[in-house]
């Protein structure tokens, strides 16, 4: 394929690489494909390239970081966990209906990993996702220098199909932080799905946001259409540390 044709194809918006397009033309010539067959294969190649780029872009925007894959999750470790509910959530029907998910349990039991795997599944299925700890999201919003800037930055947390806010309750928040959190939840209410992870039951959320008047309304909106997955287990990290200590003693 000549350079002029490659340049022209890219100018009209094709994103497939020059090597891919050259290989396709060579295959079409060798196999004596009809014009219709060649166009069909060209479209298929271009769609695969666009899907791959869109997936990469959504993955970057989601900010999931590195995490353990679901296949490595030990379902036998927790004393109690609703695996059937989690597998239903992996169908992502809750996103289509704008429902929420709460992962609740003590630190180190796998709440974040399960949330990240749900988020990754959503990315793979074409949804937009944003992952953040609550503390990072609130810090991001509070450092904006004006109300218009806050409004613009709120879109980062309001617009994705799925928002994951991790570690609710690990750090106390003041009334302003509570108001910002409430704004996110209320604007997403019954429109977009939100996943929260926490070690605190709803009735104790006043301790997270002491003195904030919006806590009851915040919980009410989030919990109205919410799947709650409680995890009763000892900390994975403590178990690993204990096993490592035992191994050192044996050595």
Question: What is the tally of structural domains in the chain?
Answer: 2
118 and 38 in one domain?
no
pLDDT at 1 over 60: no
| Cα distances (Å, whole numbers) of residue 47 to 25, 44, 125, 200 | 17, 5, 15, 45
Residue 194, phi then psi, degrees to nearest 5: -130, 135
Residue 95 sits in the same domain as residue 54:
no
- Whether residues 162 and 222 fall in one domain: yes
Section 114-129 average pLDDT: 97
pLDDT tens digits for range 132-187: 999 999 999 999 999 999 999 999 999 999 999 999 998 889 999 999 999 999 99
Angstrom distance (rounded) from CA 38 to CA 32 = 9
Q: Are residues 76 and 182 in the same domain?
A: yes
> Is residue 250 included in any domain, yes or no?
no
Is the residue at 176 inside a domain? Answer: yes
Q: Tell me the C-alpha distance between 227 and 190, whole Å.
A: 14
Percentage of the chain modeled with pLDDT above 70: 93
pLDDT(24) > 70 = yes
pLDDT digits (tens, 9 = 90+) for 186-243: 999 999 999 999 999 999 999 999 989 999 999 999 999 999 999 999 987 666 655 5
The pTM is what? Answer: 0.82
Element (H, E) at 35: helix 35-62
Distances (CA, A) of 184 to 59, 64, 136, 163, 227: 21, 19, 14, 10, 19
In whole angstroms, how far apart are CA 172 and each of 20, 150, 184, 201, 210?
53, 21, 18, 15, 8
User: Looking at beta carbons, which pairs linking 50-57 to residues 24 or more positions away fall under 8 Å?
Assistant: 50/15, 53/15, 54/126, 55/123, 55/124
Q: Does residue 249 form part of some domain?
A: no
- Contact status, residue 192 vs residue 98, Cβ threshold 8 Å: yes
In whole angstroms, what is the distance from residue 123 CA to residue 163 CA?
Answer: 11
- Determine, yes or no, domain membership for 242: no
Residue 142: domain span: 70-237
Are 39 and 113 contained in the same domain? no
Residues 97 and 55 in one domain: no
Q: Which of 62, 84, 103 is the last residue of a domain?
A: 62
44 shares its domain with 159:
no
How does DSSP classify residue 209?
S
pLDDT at 57: 87
Cα distances (Å, whole numbers) of residue 236 to 80, 107, 197 = 14, 9, 16
Same domain, 54 and 97: no
Length of the chain: 251
Regarding whether 107 and 10 lie in a shared domain, the answer is no
Q: Give the pLDDT confidence score for residue 237 in this predicted structure.
A: 64
């Amino acid at each position: 394929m000549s350079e002029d044709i490659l340049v022209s194809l890219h100018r009209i918006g094709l994103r497939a690489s020059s090597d891919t397009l050259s290989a396709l033309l060579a295959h079409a010539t060798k196999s004596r494909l009809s014009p219709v067959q060649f166009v069909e294969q060209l479209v298929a190649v271009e769609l695969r390239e666009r899907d791959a780029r869109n997936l990469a872009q959504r993955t970057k925007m989601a900010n999931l970081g590195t995490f353990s894959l679901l296949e490595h999750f030990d379902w036998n470790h927790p004393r109690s966990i609703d695996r059937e509910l989690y597998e239903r959530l992996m169908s992502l029907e809750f996103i289509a209906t704008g429902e929420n998910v709460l992962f609740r349990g003590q630190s180190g039991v796998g709440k974040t990993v399960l949330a990240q795997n749900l988020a990754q599944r959503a990315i793979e299925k074409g949804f937009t996702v944003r992952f953040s700890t609550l503390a990072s999201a609130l810090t991001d919003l509070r450092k904006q220098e004006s109300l218009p800037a806050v409004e613009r930055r709120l879109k980062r947390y309001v617009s994705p199909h799925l928002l994951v806010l991790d570690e609710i309750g690990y750090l106390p928040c003041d009334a302003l932080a509570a108001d910002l959190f409430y704004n996110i939840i209320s604007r997403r209410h019954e429109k977009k799905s939100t996943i929260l992870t926490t070690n605190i039951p709803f009735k104790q959320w006043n301790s997270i946001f002491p003195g904030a008047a919006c806590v009851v309304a915040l919980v009410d909106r989030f919990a109205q259409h919410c799947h709650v997955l409680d995890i009763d287990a000892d900390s994975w990290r403590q178990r690993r540390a204990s096993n490592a200590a035992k191994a050192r003693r044996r050595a």
